[in-house]
């Protein structure tokens, strides 16, 4: 081996090492954010912190209403987004002909929906759900300010719309993994198309749909821009009871405490704790999704 090729080889190693550094950088970013939030937030954590409402202008007390509101809105969001998302994926993968214009339009729409900025969803929620639908309902009922104002219902629907593509993509991926031979098997036994989907296809897609649900919950928990004008409140002295109430939610609460507080020094420790709670939640949800996915993949490999 002459010097030139040796030199080249070392050069190559250095360059490959550089791309490896990019991986390390990503790992480092993740680690630093995690460690910084844990280090800053763990002192605030306690049972009181999780179970008490904020006190003294949010400088003391806990974050319970924000957790409660978040769970409330996420449940409503799931009720809206899961059936629609799964049905859309089933249509695209099981019924639609791939080359039809309608199919392409739906795919294009889903893709574009995934790319719409989150704040634009917020604008839409305000303009459509609250101003148009909500006010419309109020007017027809001869009242005002019940539906035509920000509330959990509209915030959840806005979140649902925003997360629709994620459920569709996850479900479709799961449908794609099911061998065509099993559909053929069911049809050949005299099952109808819907029976085949209902009894053979969907049961196998459940882990994939579940992955989608987990990811959507995680994303929904952290999104602030779409809900800040459609239902989230700075501070509420009571817990929401109805979908037409406003709500506090964790992500928005963090934002409010770090940017809108008159006494930042007093609220930052609480905001740190809240951030830690939110991060722990989304982090564990994502890990759950990763585990479900790798399990189903290895099962698929074993089974067939």
Partner 1 sequence: MEIRENRLEIKDFSLYYHRTKALEEISMDIPEKKVTAIIGPSGCGKSTLLRSINRMNEMIDGVLTEGRILLDAENIYDRSIDVVELRRKVGMVFQRPNPFPKSIYENVAFGVRMGENKQAKGRLEEVVERSLKEAAIWDEVKDRLQRSAMELSGGQQQRVCIARALAVEPEVILMDEPASALDPIATAKIEELIFKLKEKYTIVIVTHNMQQAARVSDQTAFLMLGKLIEYGDTATIFTNPKNKTTEEYITGRFG
Partner 2 sequence: MSLQKKRFRYLGESLIEGNIKITAILAIIAVFLIFLFIMRESLPIFFSQEVMQEITFGKLFHGIEWQPVSDNPRFSMWPIILGSLKVTMIALVFAVPAAIGAALYSSEFAGPRLKEFIKPVVELLAGIPSVVLGFFALIIMASFLKSIFGWTYRLNAVNAGIALGFAVIPAIYSLAEDAINAVPRSFREAALGLGATPWQTATKVVLPAALPGVSAAVLFGMGRAVGETMVVLMAAGNAPLFSFNPLESTRTMTATIAAELGEVVFGGGHYHALFFIGLALFLVTFVINTVSWVLFDGLMNRLYGAKK
- Report the partner that residue 185 touches, choosing among partner 2, partner 1, none (CB closer than 5 to 8 A by kind): partner 1
Tell me how crowded residue 137 is: count the other CB atoms within 10 A of its CB: 13
Tell me how crowded residue 124 is: count the other CB atoms within 10 A of its CB: 16
- Report the partner that residue 190 touches, choosing among partner 1, partner 2, none (CB closer than 5 to 8 A by kind): partner 1
| Closest CB 192 distance from partner 2, rounded Å | 5
Q: Which stretch binds partner 1 (CB under 8 A): 141-149, 196-204, 243-251, 268-276?
A: 196-204
- Report the partner that residue 191 touches, choosing among partner 2, partner 1, none (CB closer than 5 to 8 A by kind): partner 1
Map the footprint of partner 1 across residues 100-139, applying CB under 8 A.
none
Cβ(69)–Cβ(247) under 8 Å?
Answer: yes
Instruction: Confirm or reject binding of residue 57 to partner 1 (CB under 8 A).
Output: no
Residue 73 or 275: the one with the smaller Cβ distance to partner 2 is: 275
| Closest CB 121 distance from partner 2, rounded Å | 8
Which of 142, 190, 237, 262: binder of partner 1 (CB under 8 A)? 190
| Closest CB 23 distance from partner 1, rounded Å | 36
- List the one residue out of 74, 75, 33, 42 whose CA is nearest residue 274: 42
Instruction: Confirm or reject binding of residue 303 to partner 1 (CB under 8 A).
Output: yes
**147-179 as b/e, with b when 16 or more CB fall inside 10 Å?**
bbbbbbbbbbbbbbbbbbbbbbbbbbbbbeebe
- Write down how long the chain is: 304
Q: Which stretch binds partner 1 (CB under 8 A): 35-43, 197-205, 222-230, 269-277?
A: 197-205
DSSP 153-208: HHHHHHHHHHHHHHHHHHHHHHHHTS-HHHHHHHHHTT--HHHHIIIIIHHHHHHH
Instruction: Confirm or reject binding of residue 185 to partner 1 (CB under 8 A).
Output: yes
Which of 177, 191, 206, 266: binder of partner 1 (CB under 8 A)? 191
- Report the partner that residue 51 touches, choosing among partner 2, partner 1, none (CB closer than 5 to 8 A by kind): none
Contacts with partner 1 by CB under 8 A: the residue count is 21
Cβ(255)–Cβ(271) under 8 Å?
Answer: no
DSSP code, position 229: T
Supply 180's token pair: 């065509």
| Closest CB 242 distance from partner 2, rounded Å | 23
Identify the sign of the CA torsion 258, 263, 264, 268. negative
Which of 46, 143, 144, 192: binder of partner 1 (CB under 8 A)? 192
The Cα 263–Cα 273 span in angstroms is 17
């Amino acid at each position: 081996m002459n010097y030139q090729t040796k030199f080249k080889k070392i050069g190559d190693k250095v360059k490959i090492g550089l791309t490896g550094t990019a991986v390390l950088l990503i790992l480092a970013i993740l680690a630093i954010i995690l460690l910084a939030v844990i280090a800053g937030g763990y002192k605030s954590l306690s049972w009181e912190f999780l179970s008490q409402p904020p006190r003294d202008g949010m400088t003391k007390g806990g974050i319970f209403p924000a957790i409660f509101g978040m769970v409330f809105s996420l449940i409503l969001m799931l009720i809206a987004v899961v059936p629609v998302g799964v049905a859309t994926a089933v249509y695209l993968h099981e019924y639609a002909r791939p080359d039809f214009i309608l199919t392409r339009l739906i795919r294009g729409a889903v893709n574009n929906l995934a790319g719409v900025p989150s704040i634009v969803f917020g604008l839409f929620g305000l303009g459509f759900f609250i101003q148009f639908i909500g006010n419309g309902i109020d007017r027809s009922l001869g009242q005002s300010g019940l539906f035509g104002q920000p509330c959990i219902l509209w915030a959840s629907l806005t979140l649902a719309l925003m997360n629709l593509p994620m459920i569709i993509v996850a479900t479709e991926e799961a449908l794609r993994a099911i061998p065509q031979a099993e559909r053929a098997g069911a049809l050949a036994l005299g099952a109808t198309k819907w029976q085949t989907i209902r009894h053979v296809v969907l049961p196998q897609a459940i882990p994939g749909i579940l992955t989608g649900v987990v990811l959507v919950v995680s994303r929904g928990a952290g999104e602030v821009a779409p809900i800040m004008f459609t239902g989230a409140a700075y501070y509420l002295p009571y817990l929401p009871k109805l979908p037409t109430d406003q709500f506090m939610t964790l992500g928005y609460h963090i934002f409010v405490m770090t940017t809108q507080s008159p006494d930042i020094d007093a609220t930052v420790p609480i905001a740190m704790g809240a951030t830690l709670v939110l991060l722990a939640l989304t982090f564990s949800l994502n890990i759950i999704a990763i585990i479900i996915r790798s399990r189903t993949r290895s099962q698929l490999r074993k089974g067939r």
